Structure 1
Amino acid sequence: MNALNFSPFVRTAGPGGAGGEAVDPGELFDAVRAAGFTGVGLDLFTVDAWAGRGHTPDRLARDLTAAGLRCHEMLGFVVSDDEGSTYEGARRIAEALATFGAPYALGMVTAPPGPRSADLFARCAELIADAGGMAAVEFLPFTPLATIADARALVRHAGAGRAGVLVDTWHFFQGPDTWDDLSALPAEEIAYVQFNDHPAVLGTGADLYHECMTRRVMPGDGVFPLGAFRDALAAKGYAGLVSVEVNSAELAALGPAEFARRAWAATRRYWS
């Protein structure tokens, strides 16, 4: 059975968050658990915002456990041209991952592809592994790391057990990859899956970043063939984490209880 996780990405202070000010952590945790999820994805922007309101990471980790939840993913570090900034971001994510006991740290790559960015990612993965987690590299069609093959190359360079590919339905269906590319990805190279939908498959000239960060919809409410996607993963033996990540200002405005309830109901149509 796949573990189901809710990743609300609730603050706009970082790149692309769909919410407003970070919601109260207790309200969020209670809402996520009441909906049926056993895990929640957190991002460093929100954790920092909560810390500014007196909720230290250690306290948040205790509150999360008390709510019957686990943090399954921590967002996120960025491998950029700035080596110092890259390492500092990875260090902070590794620290948060250790505090919350999260198994995965999500990373993206904005540096041009090549040996230097591969080595930078491998160093980040080493920091995260030392903290007890795995670096999950996300391919995004609006970044230099745009395909499954790109992500697999970084994972192989970082080494088995230290890194895996994060497969997000949005980036798969809106990007250049094909079903054959997905089929060629071994289950053991997948870190975890992010699950969501969109009202349309976007064409050339669309603002992919804006659409990705603000206009996702619940699974089944858009045009992605999510049943076929699930079946493709099941065929390769994938039985890992599925994290529902629906970046939507409209849905976030409903409040955490309704947002989480809708996410659970939509996702259970595909994963049980």
Structure 2
Amino acid sequence: MPPRQLALAALSMLELSPPDMVSCAAAAGFSHVGLRLLPATAEEPQHDMLGNSPLLQETLQRLQDTGLQVSDVEILRLKAELDVASYLPMLESAARLGAREVLVAGNDPDFARCVDSFARLCQLAAPLGLSMNIEPMPWTDIRNIGMAMRLLEQAGQDNAALLVDAIHFDRAGDRPAALATVPCQRLHYMQLCDAPAAKPDSIEQLLYQARAERMPPGHGGLALGELLLALPPDLPISLEVPMHSRAQLSAVERAKLLRSAAERVLQRTYGTALESARA
């Protein structure tokens, strides 16, 4: 099996502050961690991670103490009223934390304007050594792989990439064949999880499942093996698996469960692929 970088994504343990997220990932045996510097919704916890805040300083100290690295940070939204320059403090914090990847969502119905905002965001981030990863989500305006690739092509920026999330990929109706023409340089990391094979029949259920009730890799009905084999075998993986129904488990217990589940799926996927190649 190819060596694989595994990170614990922020959404998996959203109740934790960024420094506690670092400690949790380290205790569960991860080498990398994803951090949410800006909230995705008004309802979730808000953490002051901009500038020289005490929380950012504490997070830097935990990273130094544990030896963990930051794999990616979240979340920037491309909105109609967006002032791209307003995201500079977040990007500067990301660079201070040692991140190289930033997650971006497309929330602007005007595609041309969305492309322009994304291109300007890439240009703002490039001097900081950051890449912008557009994540298609079926309830946003960049809903699927096809739309995301059009955005990347029209933006024309070297530090722009596609972020594939297993549950969004499935719920948007995408198939592994859609990834065949994606250049490897446009893939910097992926998000892995599982979910029931049956798709939710309402947007409310879709959102709830994605934000609160995913399943550890290999515990659901998504075609994870096919997806993994359609992507580069050394692509870093971020485990994004919120599980509110398992809140009785500690954060470290849940993180260990996710890591071991992912390792089993990877072993099964690539072991089977290797056996097929020898047959």
TM over 0.5: yes
TM-score, length of structure 2 as denominator length: 0.83
Cα deviations by residue, 1:190-232 (Å, 9 ceiling, x for unpaired): 1210000112331543522222111111111111011221122
Opposite residue 118 of structure 2, the aligned amino acid is F
User: Structure 1 residue 51: deviation in Å?
Assistant: 5.5
- Measured in 2, the distance between the counterparts of 1:130 and 1:253 equals 44
User: Structure 1 residue 71: deviation in Å?
Assistant: 0.6
**Helix, strand or coil at the partner of 2:253:** helix
Q: Is the 8 A contact 1:167 1:193 kept in 2?
A: yes
Pairing 1:36–2:38 present = no
Q: Is the 8 A contact 1:19 1:249 kept in 2?
A: no
Note closer, same or farther for the CA distance 1:23–1:74 as it changes in structure 2 (3 Å cut): closer
TM-score, length of structure 1 as denominator length: 0.85
Opposite residue 77 of structure 1, the aligned amino acid is L
Q: Is the 8 A contact 1:129 1:162 kept in 2?
A: yes
Cα deviations by residue, 1:110-138 (Å, 9 ceiling, x for unpaired): 10142211001111111122211100100
User: Structure 1 residue 253: deviation in Å?
Assistant: 5.0
User: Structure 1 residue 238: deviation in Å?
Assistant: 4.3
For structure 2, the 5+ residue unaligned runs are 40-44, 268-279
| 1:25 alignment partner, one of 19, 30, 53 | 19
- Measured in 2, the distance between the counterparts of 1:211 and 1:217 equals 9
CA RMSD of aligned residues (A): 2.4
**Helix, strand or coil at the partner of 1:140:** coil
For structure 1, the 5+ residue unaligned runs are 11-17
**Helix, strand or coil at the partner of 1:271:** helix
Moved more, 73-82 or 123-132: 123-132
| Equivalent runs, 1:219-238 vs 2, <5 Å | 219-233=217-231, 237-238=232-233
- Measured in 2, the distance between the counterparts of 1:69 and 1:25 equals 11
- Measured in 1, the distance between the counterparts of 2:266 and 2:155 equals 30
Correspondence for 2:186: 189
- Percentage identity across paired residues of the two chains: 26
Cα deviations by residue, 1:141-196 (Å, 9 ceiling, x for unpaired): 11110111111122223334311000000111111212321223232211210000
Opposite residue 148 of structure 2, the aligned amino acid is A
**Helix, strand or coil at the partner of 2:217:** coil
- Measured in 1, the distance between the counterparts of 2:246 and 2:89 equals 29
| Equivalent runs, 1:22-171 vs 2, <5 Å | 22-23=16-17, 25-26=19-20, 28-45=21-38, 49=47, 55-84=54-83, 86-88=84-86, 90-171=87-168
- Measured in 2, the distance between the counterparts of 1:130 and 1:157 equals 21
Cα deviations by residue, 1:78-112 (Å, 9 ceiling, x for unpaired): 0001122x541x32331121110101010001101
Cα deviations by residue, 1:20-47 (Å, 9 ceiling, x for unpaired): 4x34724x32331232210000001479
Correspondence for 2:9: 7
Note closer, same or farther for the CA distance 1:55–1:251 as it changes in structure 2 (3 Å cut): farther
Note closer, same or farther for the CA distance 1:165–1:113 as it changes in structure 2 (3 Å cut): farther
**Helix, strand or coil at the partner of 1:269:** helix
Opposite residue 146 of structure 2, the aligned amino acid is A
Q: Work out the number of aligned pairs and report it.
A: 257
- Measured in 2, the distance between the counterparts of 1:270 and 1:223 equals 13
Correspondence for 2:208: 210
**Helix, strand or coil at the partner of 2:7:** strand
**Helix, strand or coil at the partner of 2:190:** strand
**Helix, strand or coil at the partner of 1:257:** helix
Opposite residue 4 of structure 2, the aligned amino acid is N
Correspondence for 1:256: 251
